[in-house]
């Protein structure tokens, strides 16, 4: 330490010095200080600072006599803040002289202010007021706005959270706000010259942070329609695929599992069906931490294909066969790693994604590093799942009676040929096949996360393992091990921000198929014989070997998948409000699949050999996104400009190998043991580049105007057609900010906002290289062999170079209301999406070369609808709180126009003005009392009920005149969260109003069990006025027509308690004893009960006998240390 008797006479006030220092701090001081102590002498503090920063103190020892010891707890405080805190209330001030900190006595009266030393910054500054805005943890908030209420003038904080304004008059009010934080209003005291303020994270629905495209917003300020579901809400549900946790949570978004298999693809559709093309999937664009997860569907021959109805096969593009129908890509994402999921629906929210945003965008944000004490969270869960409902089927006695009566009605004697199961099998044996085949499945999971670090460097690491059985409990399981990590760095001068996130997951799915347990004869013999082999002998004996249903138990389909997703985001604050950022992202999925047709599964009398199919799928996505953000004030309005670019590359490669002729099941895992094998492969590639911009002008949080534009190019299009322009314009009016409106609105009405947008997004589906004329050697199997020893080449598809973007024009209008200080919020939305110039596969006459060509179809499809979203804090007090949420979405879809429709390929299946998902049906009249057969309306009175598939339904002699739309009329959810002291009870209901097909529409009387209610009240003799048809083994047209009639459709609406979660946190004092910070116990249930008039097991999966969604009951313990 250096002491001197000389005091430097400084005329500056300490505050001014601080201000000046802050202005130049980027260059001079880039140091932070951590120091904690109680009643420490200033000298000790200074010593510590010198050690940490390399600065030296310069002061007169004498003046320290007047100083009091200080008590401070500071972690990574910027030096100037630290010094301000230490000297707060002391008669001392500090100033910087290069690397020296000068401590001097405060002048009793502030002297007139001379020009600041650094005149470049403020040439002739008026007296300035300085402030620093941070969050509750002391992290600087860069870009927060500070408004002097009386003047209506505003400024923004710089990269270090600092601002300076001409010193306002005393008692001025400052409003400090930042997206995602609760706005604070501060009244300045007399002579106040500085301000340190901390903002709290907003917890109310209106102001909470919402992730939007390339940024953040809140419901209060959003111009587009965005619904965010929090990670917390997702994690309360015991599901392995986070997509399933969104079911019913977002109005206007339908989430449909394609089967009860846990890893199965999940079909997601936002605001209705856009495309006529039955091969085009409805999935939105998924973006994980800024990295798009694009899968190019290969639709290879001898592989799974993707379609509108089934969704994308996902990670299983190569490979012949998968019981699960592929694998949902998001099955590889651990729900425990998710911070939030945002669903972007309208043009304002999605136009910046240009040609990729037509079906909406889902932004998934994973948990990021949180500074603070290192914290370890461990969570372990165990669950069981079973079928929630069983079919009420015939028992053996009824079944036998049905069969006998059927044969009698047909005038047939019971023989081994027409009733083998009655003749050859024990007719007293009874098995409840559903219970036998769908068992109680067990699941286990554990998640651990570790996070911590300081303000500059923080990290998070998560590890998860989950193992879930499908309810086909004889075999099969789904496993996932996942690792996620996040690293954040903030440079000491707070200008550079680096954020690295990575997720890795390995999944292993072993699935078997079980026969539909419902149609099996109840007296059928056991699955396995006494030696544990499949019971072929009993079926062979009955001459039913071709009907043996259990072979698939021993023919598993297995897929293993590695998925990695990583993103690196670097931001640099160039100047106040000006940020330069770049994001680089990569994801890769490597998946191998196999299907083994084992010898053990095959009929032993055939001496069969085993065969296998192997598949690999490799998916790569990378993207680079440079971006420049500039925020500043023009007048009282804040202007946010964003200019950026995206460059994305995607490849998907698939390979399938079929191998046959294995002589031993043990050798089946590699094709080298096979007698022969054939392979086919495909690679699809895509590049996408765009330049986008967004301008948002916010006038005092009252009027907001947002324009976004996007020029992008995709390799899916031919030369000269690769580039397209997309744009949107939107505005919001927060009427409740108007003074006159405040007078008009009653006091309980706290918020009123109207926002609307219009814009064009696009879609570049259709597949790679469709513009390129391609030749290939036809697939090896059944294909074209060489001719005269020359390997042949044939054109592979029709070439059209002229196809262009599909255009989706979207209008959206939201009305948001807040009541009782925003405790109740309501958003009502109206939208209209029109999809024109559709990019589809257009059927063409074969003399063009092929039966279809990729091109733009003139079809115009419209989806309009209403959505409502309500959030209410019913009770909010210290010990008890209760929040309720409700959402509903209503969509109406129709084919608006189609020039020359009668010549279109859709003429026979669709109608103009009608929904795309209409089915056209006969009208069912009931049972004909004379013959016990089902009867239908002869619509055209020509004497016969006719099914003519060659003309539009309901015209000429065709009698399918009833139209039923099979998409839900409306759907939504109800959420309730009740917290009382340490207990929390969460309930989530979802509901759908829809028509569904009856579970069983086939014949009654053949060798197939039927639902019990078909047995009741069935026709027995002429004159019977009954509900159900006669029993018969010989079908007539009327039996076949039933499934095409409105009699087969019924109300399949339901209200389901889909989640019920109860948790209890152990009191802290008990935790402390166990050296824990927290411990909570919870019970979570999924698919608890369903209220429906539908007769099936699951109104959501209506096909008879397929795997229903299980009911899951999970117990969970979570600790943190």
Check residue 911 for interaction with other proteins (CB under 8 A).
no
CB of 949 to other proteins, least distance (A): 8
Contact 1058, 1092 (CB under 8 A): no
Torsions phi, psi for 351 (to 5 deg): -60, -30
* Tokens coding 666: 């043990």
**Position among 798, 888, 910, 998 found at the interface with other proteins (CB under 8 A):** 798
CB of 906 to other proteins, least distance (A): 9
Site for other proteins in 740-779 (CB under 8 A): 768-769, 772-776, 778
**Position among 428, 747, 788, 1025 found at the interface with other proteins (CB under 8 A):** 788
User: Among the residues of 310-359, which ranges form H helices?
Assistant: 347-350
Check residue 799 for interaction with other proteins (CB under 8 A).
yes
**Position among 790, 879, 1021, 1023 found at the interface with other proteins (CB under 8 A):** 790
CB of 958 to other proteins, least distance (A): 14
Please name the helix (run of DSSP H) or strand (run of DSSP E) that holds residue 538, with its range, or none: helix 536-541
Please name the helix (run of DSSP H) or strand (run of DSSP E) that holds residue 1068, with its range, or none: helix 1068-1073
| Cα distance between residue 220 and residue 1060, in whole Å | 30
What mask of x and - would describe binding to other proteins in positions 40 to 79, judged by CB under 8 A?
Answer: ----------------------------------------
793 or 1070: whose CB is closer to other proteins?
793
Contacting range for other proteins; rule: CB under 8 A; set: 332-340, 475-483, 512-520, 850-858: 850-858
What mask of x and - would describe binding to other proteins in positions 486 to 525, judged by CB under 8 A?
Answer: -----x-x-xx-----------------------------
What mask of x and - would describe binding to other proteins in positions 1014 to 1053, judged by CB under 8 A?
Answer: ----------------------------------------
What mask of x and - would describe binding to other proteins in positions 5 to 34, judged by CB under 8 A?
Answer: ---------------------xx--x----
779 or 1076: whose CB is closer to other proteins?
779
| Residue environment code for 3-33, b if the CB has 16+ CB neighbours within 10 A, otherwise e | eeeeeeebebbbbbbbbbbbbebbebbebbb
* Tokens coding 989: 């209901």
3-state secondary structure 839-855: EEEEECCHHHCCCEEEE
| Cα distance between residue 503 and residue 501, in whole Å | 7
**Position among 786, 941, 943, 1073 found at the interface with other proteins (CB under 8 A):** 786
Check residue 88 for interaction with other proteins (CB under 8 A).
no
User: Among the residues of 29-142, which ranges form H helices?
Assistant: 42-53, 61-64, 79-87
**Position among 121, 136, 851, 1091 found at the interface with other proteins (CB under 8 A):** 851
CB of 575 to other proteins, least distance (A): 8
Measuring CA to CA, which residue among 202, 256, 252 is closest to residue 226?
A: 252
Contacting range for other proteins; rule: CB under 8 A; set: 357-365, 455-463, 662-670, 712-720: 712-720
176 or 295: whose CB is closer to other proteins?
295
Pairing of strands 361-366, 285-288: parallel
Check residue 120 for interaction with other proteins (CB under 8 A).
no
Check residue 590 for interaction with other proteins (CB under 8 A).
no
| Cα distance between residue 332 and residue 321, in whole Å | 20
172 or 677: whose CB is closer to other proteins?
677
Check residue 714 for interaction with other proteins (CB under 8 A).
yes
CB of 571 to other proteins, least distance (A): 12
Residue 877, judged by CB atoms within 10 A of its CB (0-12, 13-18, 19+), counts as exposed
Contacting range for other proteins; rule: CB under 8 A; set: 164-172, 781-789, 967-975, 1085-1093: 781-789
Torsions phi, psi for 424 (to 5 deg): -95, -20
User: How far is CA 43 from each of CA 56, 75, 426, rounded to the nearest angstrom?
Assistant: 12, 19, 98
71 or 1036: whose CB is closer to other proteins?
1036
203 or 846: whose CB is closer to other proteins?
846
| Cα distance between residue 429 and residue 226, in whole Å | 58
CB of 2 to other proteins, least distance (A): 28
Check residue 112 for interaction with other proteins (CB under 8 A).
no
CB of 617 to other proteins, least distance (A): 15
10 Å Cβ neighbour count for 1013? 13
Site for other proteins in 566-585 (CB under 8 A): 572, 574, 580
Contact 354, 761 (CB under 8 A): yes
Check residue 929 for interaction with other proteins (CB under 8 A).
no
Check residue 848 for interaction with other proteins (CB under 8 A).
yes
Angle, helix 79-87 to helix 42-53, in steps of 10 degrees: 180
**Position among 372, 560, 843, 1115 found at the interface with other proteins (CB under 8 A):** 843
Site for other proteins in 633-672 (CB under 8 A): 645, 647
Residues in the chain, how many? 1121
CB of 649 to other proteins, least distance (A): 8
- Rounded to a whole number of angstroms, the distance between the first and last alpha carbons of the chain is 42
The residue whose two tokens read 């609760």 is 182
Contacting range for other proteins; rule: CB under 8 A; set: 41-49, 132-140, 817-825, 898-906: 898-906
**Position among 686, 702, 753, 763 found at the interface with other proteins (CB under 8 A):** 686
* Tokens coding 229: 């579901």
What is residue 402's three-state secondary structure?
helix
**Position among 682, 710, 808, 1001 found at the interface with other proteins (CB under 8 A):** 682
Could you give the angle at the alpha carbon of 243 between the alpha carbons of 240 and 247, nearest 5°? 110
Site for other proteins in 943-962 (CB under 8 A): 950
Check residue 715 for interaction with other proteins (CB under 8 A).
yes
Measuring CA to CA, which residue among 915, 821, 928, 900 is closest to residue 861?
A: 915
CB of 79 to other proteins, least distance (A): 15
In sequence order, the 6+-apart residues with CB closer than 8 A to the CB of 751 are 206, 220, 734, 736, 816, 817, 818, 819, 822, 825
CB of 793 to other proteins, least distance (A): 4
519 or 682: whose CB is closer to other proteins?
682
Check residue 687 for interaction with other proteins (CB under 8 A).
yes
The residue whose two tokens read 């294995």 is 662
Contacting range for other proteins; rule: CB under 8 A; set: 699-707, 869-877, 900-908, 967-975: 900-908
Site for other proteins in 155-214 (CB under 8 A): none
CB of 493 to other proteins, least distance (A): 6
Check residue 681 for interaction with other proteins (CB under 8 A).
yes
Contacting range for other proteins; rule: CB under 8 A; set: 76-84, 106-114, 219-227, 683-691: 683-691
Strand-pairing partners, residue 176, are 146, 184
Contact 662, 610 (CB under 8 A): yes
For residue 111, what is the DSSP state?
P
Residue 814, judged by CB atoms within 10 A of its CB (0-12, 13-18, 19+), counts as buried
**Position among 560, 905, 1040, 1115 found at the interface with other proteins (CB under 8 A):** 905
């Amino acid at each position: 330490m250096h002491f001197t008797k000389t005091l430097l006479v400084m005329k500056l006030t300490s505050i001014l010095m601080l201000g000046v220092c802050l202005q130049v701090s980027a260059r001079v001081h880039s140091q932070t200080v951590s120091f904690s102590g109680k009643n420490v002498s200033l000298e000790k503090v200074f010593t510590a600072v010198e050690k940490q920063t390399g600065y030296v103190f310069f002061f007169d020892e004498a003046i320290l006599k007047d100083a009091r010891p200080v008590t401070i707890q500071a972690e990574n405080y910027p030096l100037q803040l630290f010094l301000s805190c230490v000297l707060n209330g002391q008669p001392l001030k500090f100033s910087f002289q290069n690397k020296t900190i000068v401590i001097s006595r405060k002048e009793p009266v502030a002297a007139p202010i001379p020009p600041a030393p650094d005149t470049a910054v403020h040439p002739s500054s008026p007296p300035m007021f300085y402030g620093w805005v941070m969050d509750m943890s002391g992290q600087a908030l860069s870009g927060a706005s500070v408004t002097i209420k009386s003047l209506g003038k505003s400024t923004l904080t710089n990269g270090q959270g600092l601002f300076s304004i001409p010193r306002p008059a005393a008692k001025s009010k400052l409003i400090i706000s930042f997206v995602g934080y609760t706005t604070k209003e501060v009244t300045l005291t007399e002579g106040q010259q500085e301000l340190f303020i901390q903002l709290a994270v907003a917890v109310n629905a209106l102001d909470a942070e919402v992730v939007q495209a390339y940024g953040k917003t809140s419901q209060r300020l959003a111009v587009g329609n965005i619904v965010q579901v929090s990670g917390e809400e997702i994690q309360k549900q015991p599901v392995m695929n986070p997509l399933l946790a969104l079911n019913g949570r977002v109005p206007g978004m339908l989430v449909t599992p394609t089967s009860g298999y846990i890893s199965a693809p999940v079909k997601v559709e936002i605001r209705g069906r856009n495309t006529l093309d039955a091969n085009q999937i409805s999935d939105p664009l998924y973006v994980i931490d800024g990295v798009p997860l694009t899968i190019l569907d290969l639709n290879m021959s001898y592989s799974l294909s993707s379609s509108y109805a089934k969704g994308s096969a996902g990670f299983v593009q190569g490979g012949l066969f998968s019981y699960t129908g592929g694998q949902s890509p998001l099955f590889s994402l651990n729900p425990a790693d998710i911070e939030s999921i945002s669903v972007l629906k309208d043009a304002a929210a999605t136009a910046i994604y240009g040609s990729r945003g037509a079906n909406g965008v889902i932004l998934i944000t994973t948990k990021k590093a949180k500074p603070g004490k290192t914290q370890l969270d461990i969570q372990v869960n165990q669950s069981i799942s079973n079928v929630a409902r069983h079919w009420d089927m015939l028992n053996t006695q009824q079944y036998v009676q049905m069969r006998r009566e059927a044969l009698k009605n047909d005038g047939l004697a019971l023989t081994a040929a027409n009733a083998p199961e009655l003749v050859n099998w024990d007719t007293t044996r009874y098995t409840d096949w559903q219970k036998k085949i769908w068992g109680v499945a067990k699941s286990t999971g554990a998640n651990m996360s570790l996070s911590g670090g300081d303000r500059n460097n923080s990290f998070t690491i998560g590890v998860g393992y989950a193992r879930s059985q499908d309810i086909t409990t004889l075999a099969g399981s789904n496993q996932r091990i996942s690792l996620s990590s996040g690293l954040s760095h903030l440079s000491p001068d707070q200008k550079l921000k680096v954020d690295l996130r990575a997720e890795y997951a390995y999944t292993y799915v072993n699935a078997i198929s079980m026969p539909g347990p419902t149609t099996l004869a109840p007296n059928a013999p056991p699955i396995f014989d006494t030696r544990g082999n499949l019971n072929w002998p009993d079926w062979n004996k009955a001459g039913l070997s071709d009907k043996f249903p259990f072979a698939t138990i021993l023919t598993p389909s297995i897929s293993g998948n590695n998925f990695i997703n990583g993103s690196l985001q670097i931001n640099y604050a160039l100047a106040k409000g000006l940020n330069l950022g770049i994001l680089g992202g990569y994801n890769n999925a490597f998946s191998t699949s196999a299907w083994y047709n084992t010898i053990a599964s095959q009929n032993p009398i055939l001496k069969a050999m085993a065969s296998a199919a192997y598949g690999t799928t490799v998916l790569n996505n990378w993207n680079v996104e440079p971006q420049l953000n500039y925020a500043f004030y023009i007048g009282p309005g804040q202007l946010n400009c964003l200019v950026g670019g995206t460059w994305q590359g995607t490849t998907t490669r698939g390979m399938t190998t079929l191998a046959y002729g294995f002589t031993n099941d043990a050798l089946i895992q590699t094709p080298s043991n096979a007698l022969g094998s054939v392979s086919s492969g495909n690679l699809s590639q895509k590049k996408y580049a765009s330049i986008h911009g967004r301008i948002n002008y916010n006038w005092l949080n009252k009027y907001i105007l947002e324009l976004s534009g996007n020029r992008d190019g995709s390799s899916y299009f031919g030369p000269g057609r690769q580039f397209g322009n997309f744009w949107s314009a939107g505005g919001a009016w927060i009427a409740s900010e108007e003074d006159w409106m405040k007078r008009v609105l009653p006091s309980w009405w706290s918020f009123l906002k109207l926002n609307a947008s219009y814009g064009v997004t696009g879609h570049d589906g259709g597949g790679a290289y469709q513009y390129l004329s391609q030749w290939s050697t036809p697939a090896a199997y059944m294909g074209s062999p060489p001719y005269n020893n020359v390997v042949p080449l044939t054109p592979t598809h029709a070439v059209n170079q002229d196809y262009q973007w599909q255009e989706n024009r979207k209008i959206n209008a939201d009305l948001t209301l807040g009541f009782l200080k925003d405790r109740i919020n309501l958003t009502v939305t109206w939208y209209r999406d029109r999809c024109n110039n559709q990019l589809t596969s257009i059927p063409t006459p074969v003399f063009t070369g092929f039966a279809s060509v990729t091109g733009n179809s003139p079809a115009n499809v419209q989806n309009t609808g209403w959505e409502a979203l309500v959030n209410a804090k019913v009770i909010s007090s210290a010990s008890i709180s209760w929040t309720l949420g409700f959402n509903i979405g209503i969509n109406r879809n129709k084919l608006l126009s189609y020039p020359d429709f009668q010549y279109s390929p859709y003429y026979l299946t669709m109608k103009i003005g009608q929904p795309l998902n209409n089915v056209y049906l006969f009208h069912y009249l009931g049972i004909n009392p004379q013959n016990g057969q089902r009867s239908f309306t002869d619509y055209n009175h020509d004497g016969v009920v006719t099914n003519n598939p060659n003309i539009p339904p309901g015209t000429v002699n065709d009698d399918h005149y009833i139209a039923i739309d099979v998409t839900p009329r409306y759907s939504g959810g109800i959420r309730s969260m009740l917290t009382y002291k340490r207990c929390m009870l969460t309930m989530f209901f979802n509901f759908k109003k829809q028509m569904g097909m009856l579970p069983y529409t086939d014949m009654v009387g053949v060798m197939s069990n039927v639902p019990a209610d078909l047995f009741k009240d069935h026709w027995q003799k002429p004159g019977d006025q009954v509900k159900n048809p006669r029993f018969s083994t010989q079908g007539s047209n009327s039996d076949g027509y039933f499934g095409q009639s409105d009699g087969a459709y019924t109300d399949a609406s339901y209200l389901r308690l889909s989640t019920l979660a109860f948790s209890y946190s152990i009191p802290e004092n008990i935790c402390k004893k166990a050296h824990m910070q927290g411990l909570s116990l919870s019970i979570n249930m999924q698919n608890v009960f369903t209220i429906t008039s539908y007769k099936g097991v699951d109104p959501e999966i209506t096909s008879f006998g397929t795997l229903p969604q299980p009911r899951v009951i999970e117990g969970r313990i979570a600790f943190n240390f």
